[in-house]
Amino acid sequence: MRQVHPDYNESSGLVVDGSIRIAADDNPVLIGTECSECEYVVFPSRPFCRNCLSDNVSDVELARTGQLETYTVAHTGQEGIEPPYAFGFVNLENVQIYSRFTEWKERSLEVGDQVELVLEKIKTDTETGEPLFGHMFRPMEEEQ
Amino acid sequence: MTENEVAVVNVGQSDFGELEGQRVTEFGSRAVREALLSSSVEPDDIEEAYIGNVATTAQDQTSVIGQAILREVGVTGIPIIRVENACASSTCAFQEAYKRVQSGESDIVLAMGVEKMTGVPTEVALKDMAGAADAEVEGAMGMTFMGLYGMRANAYMNQFGNVREELADIAVKNHDNGLKNPRAHLQLNVDRDDILESRPISDPIRLLDACPMSDGAAAAVIARTEIAEELVEEPIYVDAAEMLSGNYLEEVEFWREELDERVAQKAYSEAGIGPDDLDVVEVHDAATIGELMHYEGLGLADQGEGASLVRSGDVMLDGRTPVNPSGGLKSRGHPVGATGVAQICELVWQLRGEAGARQVENPSIGLAQNSGGALVGEGGVSTVTILSNR
């Protein structure tokens, strides 16, 4: 199943600049920062390490799959986002990140679920009317 | 340097609710006026003032709000400082005032909180409140505060089992208490089924698990103990005032109130007491799961055992350790910048035996816990204040 929304292209806006890109295999990948001194990983990217303050840092591709730490489904939400919508925190290999979820209606979410990254429409830019894109995770099919 | 002991001289609180037609300067000054009139403190006696306020989009006066309010009660010409720390703003204002008296810098200081939240559409207010979370990712990608409580509740129930009915019972308890508090915002006579059948807000949190958005103000005059004892018959002593922020650099365990644990430990140590010594407690029940997790964070119950305090009735008005006799945020309401000092007001009234129909039996030590904001799911700030009548 495709992991990038069909309306997304190179000129599309992201909710968080530089947070996600299309890898060589045509699938999305989240970009964080890894410190060369202490190996601390942070998302989204930063110019220096918040753990040891070194600026000897570089972009790192985060794991595309992770485990659902916790979640909720909001039935009353922020202006500009149509409820209900799901969000929560995902534990990737070495960083815990906030994310919205998709396909949670088809396959209900449970704490501890394996989830995978997709690039989705997050909301509409209130100034331009254009969609803004970003990361979401979705529950993975259980292996047979 | 010798530290002064500090006591609350007196307190005041406006009605909490939808104060339609009242400017923030009006209900704000009503709270201060009550605190001044109920003691022999004159406006000129106040040497400094600290005011908690978050200033949502609903508020007309957003800057120099302390000066604008205090002008109405003739408290002018002194240092007046606004403190912003999300929903814990006014406890932080109270603690700043406390430190000024403790250090000997001033003898009589005013702490207050004020907030105007109603009068704008809910989604506008929610987006505004989302500014008290990480704005770069979470706020920008739809996180809400009730969503944070929903995430905590799901993590908690995954770890410790289903407490959905006990959460409903916490809401019922706080509404029962609130019916006995004439200044409370939501005067609702509800039962467990009403809570469980109310509309979903952010699973598993339902409408009646959540506090309302309110308008309101609360004020406290504090002084060096020797002075407080001259000014009033029953000063209420400040035995601990502590505040800490989250750690943020590690993964968060959403089923645990780790931030509460750290700040409570500091406060208990400062006051020389433990959780078993508490006679009355006010906690930050912005949602029912918040109250249950604060039981554990404050050490009233072991990890995973918070619901047992609800089942046993320990936290009821006539229980071993009554929690939120005021009705809490759930019923008294939650004008975010005013909530912390409103908790202090309740403890002072309880410790003086002035709480009317909701009076707890003969309390001598009270604790208030107030939370504010969140980053990566971990609390922005948690505060613990311990008061006693000695």
What is the pLDDT at residue B1? 55
A111 with B155: Cβ contact below 8 A: yes
CA–CA min distance A120, chain B (Å): 11
Q: How far apart are CA B145 and CA B202, in angstroms?
A: 9
Tens digits of per-residue pLDDT, B235-279?
999 999 999 999 999 999 999 999 999 999 999 999 999 999 999
Instruction: Give the gap in angstroms from C-alpha B290 to the nearest C-alpha of chain A.
Output: 15
Per-residue pLDDT of chain B (390 residues; tens, 9 = 90+): 578 999 999 999 999 999 999 999 999 999 999 999 988 899 999 999 999 999 878 888 989 999 999 999 999 999 999 999 999 999 999 999 999 999 999 999 999 999 999 998 877 777 777 778 888 999 899 999 999 999 999 999 999 999 999 999 999 999 999 999 999 999 999 999 999 999 999 999 999 999 999 999 999 999 999 999 999 999 999 999 999 999 999 999 999 999 999 999 999 999 999 999 999 999 999 999 999 999 999 999 999 999 999 999 999 999 999 999 999 999 999 999 999 999 999 999 999 999 999 999 999 999 999 999 999 889 999 999 999 998
Please tell me if residue A97 touches chain B, with a CB cutoff of 8 Å: yes
Chain A residues with CB-CB distance to B150 below 8 A: 72-74
Contact B124/A at CB under 8 A = yes
Residue B334 designated active-site = yes
CA-to-CA separations, B120 to A62, B20, B146, B152, B208, in angstroms, rounded: 40, 11, 18, 28, 21
Measured in degrees and rounded to the nearest 5, phi and psi for residue A88 equal 180, -160
B361-383 burial, b if ≥16 CB within 10 A, otherwise e? eebebbbbbbbbbbbbbbbbbbb
Given an 8 Å threshold on Cβ–Cβ distance, is B127 in contact with A50?
no
A52 at interface of B, judged by CB pairs closer than 8 A: no
Nearest to B220 by CA among B58, B51, B356, B104: B51
Give the helix ranges, DSSP H, for B182-338.
192-197, 225-231, 258-271, 288-297, 306-312, 328-332
Gap from B303 CA to chain A (nearest CA, Å)? 18
Is the pTM above the cut of 0.80?
yes
Take residue B165 and report the two structure tokens written for it: 């009915």
Which of B202, B208, B248, B252 is the best substitution to test chain A (most A C-beta atoms within 10 A)?
A: B202
Separation between Cα atoms, residue B366 and residue B182, nearest integer Å: 21
Residue B121: its chain A contacts at CB < 8 A? 79
A80, A98, A112 member nearest B138 (Cβ): A98
Which DSSP state fits A47?
A: S
Q: Does B251 touch chain A (CB under 8 A)?
A: yes
* DSSP structure class, residue B372: E
Share of chain B above pLDDT 70, in %: 99
Hey, are the CB atoms on B201 and A96 less than 8 Å from each other?
Answer: no
Task: Give CA–CA dist B213/B210, Å, rounded.
Answer: 10
B122-145 CB burial, b ≥16 within 10 A, e <16: ebebbbbbbebbbeebbbbbbbbb
Question: How many C-beta atoms lie closer than 10 Å to residue B318's C-beta?
Answer: 8
Q: Per the CB < 8 Å rule, is B142 touching A100?
A: yes
Picking from B122, B137, B151, the nearest residue to A16 by CB comes out as: B137
Residue B203 CB-density burial (10 A; 0-12 exposed, 13-18 middle, 19+ buried): buried
Query: What is the rounded CA–CA span in Å between residue B12 and residue B327?
Result: 17
Q: Pick the residue from chain A with its C-alpha nearest to B199.
A: A75
Q: B266 φ, ψ to 5°?
A: -60, -45
Closest by CA to B290, choosing from B95, B145, B159, is B145
Instruction: List the end-to-end C-alpha distance of chain A, in Å, as a whole number.
Output: 17
A74 touches chain B (CB under 8 A): yes
Measured between alpha carbons, how far is B323 from B363 in angstroms, rounded to an integer? 12
- pLDDT by 10-residue block (mean), chain A, 144 residues: 87 93 94 98 97 98 97 90 95 96 92 97 88 96 63
DSSP B131: G
B87 CA to chain A: closest CA distance, Å?
19
Q: Which of B175, B284, B334, B345 is catalytic?
A: B334
B255: closest chain A residue by CA: A70
Do the Cβ atoms of B332 and B212 come closer than 8 Å?
no
Which is nearest to A69 in space by CA: A40, A31, A97?
Answer: A97
Residues of chain B with C-beta less than 8 angstroms from the C-beta of A77: 123, 126, 142, 144, 147
**Which chain B residues contact residue A134 at CB under 8 A?**
141
- So what's the pLDDT on residue A144? 45
Here the tokens at position B282 are: 């006010």
What residues does A30 pair with on adjacent strands? A20
> Could you tell me if B166 lies within 8 Å of chain A, comparing CB atoms?
no
Q: Which residue of A has its CA nearest to B144?
A: A77
Contacting residues for B265 by C-beta, under 8 A, at least 6 apart: none
Q: Do B147 and A98 touch (CB under 8 A)?
A: no
Transcribe A84-121 into DSSP letters. Answer: SEEEEEEE-SS-EEEEEESSTTTS---TT-EEEEEEEE
Q: Is B92 a catalytic residue?
A: no
8 Å CB contact between B335 and B116:
yes
- What is the C-alpha separation between A61 and A74, in angstroms, rounded? 29
Specify the pLDDT at position B40: 84
DSSP state, B361? S
Give the per-residue pLDDT at B39: 84
String of b and e for A17-50 (b: at least 16 CB within 10 Å)? eebbeeeeeeebbbbbbbbeeeebbbbbbeeebe
State the complex-level ipTM. Answer: 0.95
- The answer to whether B11 and B347 have CB atoms below 8 angstroms apart is no
